Structure 1
Amino acid sequence: MFETLKDILVNKLKVSPDTITAEATPEEIDLDSLAIVELSLVLEKELGLAVSEDELSEAGTVGDIVRLMDERSARV
């Protein structure tokens, strides 16, 4: 799921691939509030994963976002 998220961040949200690690915070990869809304929409549209902007905003690291994605994909 990490590679899926990384692909979305790089190709859809234009995040530099060099900055994306599991330990990186959203701020460290320049994920602002608008990008978080967009990420939520992309996850829903392309992967069928319902992860709210609030949940993404509260995620402390990229790894936390991956865990949210894993939890949602287990329910699908």
Structure 2
Amino acid sequence: MGKAYGVVADILVGKFQFTEGELSPGATLEEIDLDSLGRVEFALTLRESTGVPFGDDQITLDTTLGEIADAVEAAWGAGTAVAPR
């Protein structure tokens, strides 16, 4: 995984107190026990950190961390968001 996965993991570790060992690209938000309020806060933090807006339908219990990172990478690649330095 690339830079975007690092940003996703950093948010979950820094803001939500997960450990690196609890996270993997194939883990779903349900598997890491991120509740509905946490998902909303995660989406807002992702937008602030990556410039990529996520809708409620994009971050569901079944969404994997890798899928989120892929969406961020795609937005950065398409120029619809700016990657952090």
TM-score range, shorter chain: 0.7 to 0.9
The equivalent of 1:26 in structure 2 is: 29
Q: In the alignment, which of 40, 45, 62 is matched to residue 43 of structure 2? A: 40
Structure 1: gaps spanning 5 or more residues:
none
C-alpha distance in 2 between matches for 1:14 and 1:62: 16
Q: Which amino acid aligns with 1:26?
A: L
Q: What is the count of residue pairs matched by the alignment?
A: 76
Aligned to 1:16: 19
| CA distance 1:14–1:53, shift in 2 (3 Å) | farther
Q: State the 4+ residue runs in structure 1 displaced beyond 2 angstroms.
A: 71-74
Q: What is the TM-score normalised by the length of structure 1?
A: 0.84
TM-score calculated relative to the size of structure 2: 0.76
Give the partner amino acid of 1:71: A
User: Of the two, which has the highest radius of gyration?
Assistant: 2
Q: Please point out which of 33, 53, 56 is paired with 1:53.
A: 56
- 2 CA distance for matches of 1:60 and 1:47? 18
Please give the root-mean-square deviation of Cα atoms over the aligned residues, in Å: 1.6
The share of aligned pairs that are identical, in percent, is 32
Instruction: Give the Å deviation of 1:53.
Output: 2.5
Which is richer in helix?
1
8 Å Cα contact 1:22/1:61 also seen in 2: yes
Contact 2:29 2:65 in 1 (8 A): yes
Tell me if the contact between 1:51 and 1:69 (Cα under 8 Å) persists in the aligned partners.
Answer: no
